[in-house]
Structure 1
Amino acid sequence: MFRVSRKGKCRCAPGWLQSSGSAVAESMQPAELEHSLVMLRHCQKNIYCASVPECCPVCGGNAVASQRLEDAPIRIPSPFINGHREKFCFLLKPTNGTFASEYDGNSDLHVGISSSKGIVYSYNESGVHREEQGWHQCVGVELLQPDMYGLISQWDKYLEDFSTTEAWLPQRYEESHHNCYTYALAFVNCMLAMQGTRQQLSKEEFTKQFVLPRTRQASKYITLYRAIVKNHFYIIDSPGAKKLNSLTQEANALLQ
């Protein structure tokens, strides 16, 4: 369990992915957080929704009547993944519940590493766990490139051998300084050392370079998701509309 501050510093504490929104409505299930959302432009608005509507929620007209390329609906891919379907990943999830429903911005987060078979290894006060379920909604960082054949072929062995060392015995667990993040990052650094990389990644470096960009994207996505769950749409002025309104106001001021 850990927290990432906006400056990229990691420290053990509740919550770090700040988001807002209300409870999930029955019209969308939590699992749908893994699905893409859609953004379309109409009535000088950016309209976010779960799928392309027939009618514009602002004016009631045909939502996709325009033939201009810039008005075509845009798919917004979900930053969330099923950790049991993604190999060789650094994974993050709420310790209890899911990002979509129970997560409230103050929840503890848990970290793990996925094997080639989708088994997630993680560490807590009871030692190392090997789980085949429970990591279906995560934020992930891919750790291997497709051409890393040596590591790919031996990944599961390295992960198992690493996890059976005395460093990860239950009694060694310490919430602030020897936790799930310590375990996962130590394994990442071991793999870097095997590749001949001398410089080890600190928590601050790994968080800033790999974790924060993904969690910021996830935070925005959760905000959109919860707004759509509650209201079916999330509508804001498009940048073009704001510029047009500003020019109109300036013109009106000159005429007065």
Structure 2
Amino acid sequence: MDKSVIRFSHCGRDIYCFSIPEQCPECGLGLGGRRLEEAPVSMPNPFSNGHKAFCSFLVAPTEGHFRGEFDGESELHTGITDTAGVVYNYTKTGVRRDVEGWEKCISIPLVQPDMYNLISQWDQYLEKFSSTHTWDTQWQRFDEETHNCYSYTLMFINCVLATQGKRSLSKDEFTNSFVLPRMKRASKYSALCEEVSKNGFYIVESPQKDPEGCS
């Protein structure tokens, strides 16, 4: 998934690959001297380096130190970044402050670039919140259902909203509005990368296009 997926059109098909082949995998004609239906397009990668996504909510697979896949089966872990890209995340051992390991994740910005006042206090808010008894395993144990990494991140987000005089978000609201749409894009992109890696390309019929003659 380190490579960019490219899409180009030929023979009325959308063809996905990591690099433009010399011949069309659908019809076998050379692509060097034949104009493509449209200019090749690099597909948007839904993943980012969480350590470069400041003041953001992160989602990453837990397997292999967060280096698994967004395949709908891997367990997911969440965290919040500070202004330096350190990822605060709640685990069975308490709150961790990771400086590595979140290089491939889904990132949701929580602060607009012009919110200077909030940005200047972000690290202080995050550290103070993470140091309370709520996240100290000596006072309250980690629970997979009720007291976990997701409740940690959402509670922090709601604390920040409260300082701005805004209402809290329920788990369903935040999940459905912000997390699930990005998870779906990530899942589709992962599946696309897997097909291209396996076969060298992935071909689908171009929507609302008449197939071009290949004779």
Q: Same fold (TM over 0.5)?
A: yes
Alpha-carbon shift at residue 101 of structure 1 (Å): 5.5
Task: Please identify, of 54-63 and 121-130, the stretch whose mean Cα deviation from structure 2 is larger.
Answer: 54-63
Paired residue type of 2:75: D
1:3 alignment counterpart = none
| Contact kept in structure 1, 2:66 and 2:101, CA below 8 Å | no
Question: In structure 2, what is the equivalent of residue 174 of structure 1?
Answer: 143
Question: 1:185-239 CA deviation, whole Å, 9 max, x = no partner?
Answer: 1111111111111x10011000011001101110110010000110110111112
Instruction: Pick one of 189, 194, 198 that aligns with 1:226.
Output: 194
Unpaired runs of 5+ residues, structure 2, are none
Find the counterpart in structure 2 of residue 75 from structure 1: 42
Question: Offset at 1:170?
Answer: 1.6
Deviation of the 1:106 alpha carbon? 1.9
Candidates 35, 57, 64, aligned match of 1:66: 35
- Cα separation, 2, equivalents of 1:51 and 1:113: 35
- Superposition TM-score, scaled by structure 2 size: 0.90
Residue 93 of structure 2 is matched in structure 1 by: 126
Q: Is the 8 A contact 2:14 2:205 kept in 1?
A: yes
Checking the alignment, whether the CA contact within 8 Å between 1:80 and 1:137 is kept in structure 2 is yes
8 Å Cα contact 1:97/1:103 also seen in 2: no
The equivalent residue for 1:145 is: 112
Structure 1 gaps of 5+ residues are 1-29, 246-256
% identical equivalent positions:
49
- Following TM superposition, the consecutive aligned residue runs of length 4 or more in structure 1 with deviations greater than 4 angstroms are 98-104
| Count of residue correspondences | 208
Q: Distance in 2 between matches of 1:157 and 1:100?
A: 29
Calculate the TM-score normalised by the size of structure 1.
Answer: 0.76
- Cα distance in structure 1, aligned partners of 2:57 and 2:88: 10
Q: CA deviation at 1:53?
A: 2.5
Q: CA RMSD in A?
A: 2.0
Q: Which moves more between the two structures, 163-172 or 110-119?
A: 163-172
1:39–1:47: 8 Å Cα contact kept in structure 2?
Answer: yes
Offset from partner CA, 1:2-45 (integer Å, 9 cap, x none): xxxxxxxxxxxxxxxxxxxxxxxxxxxx5x1xx43111100111
Specify the code of the residue in structure 1 equivalent to 2:25.
Answer: P
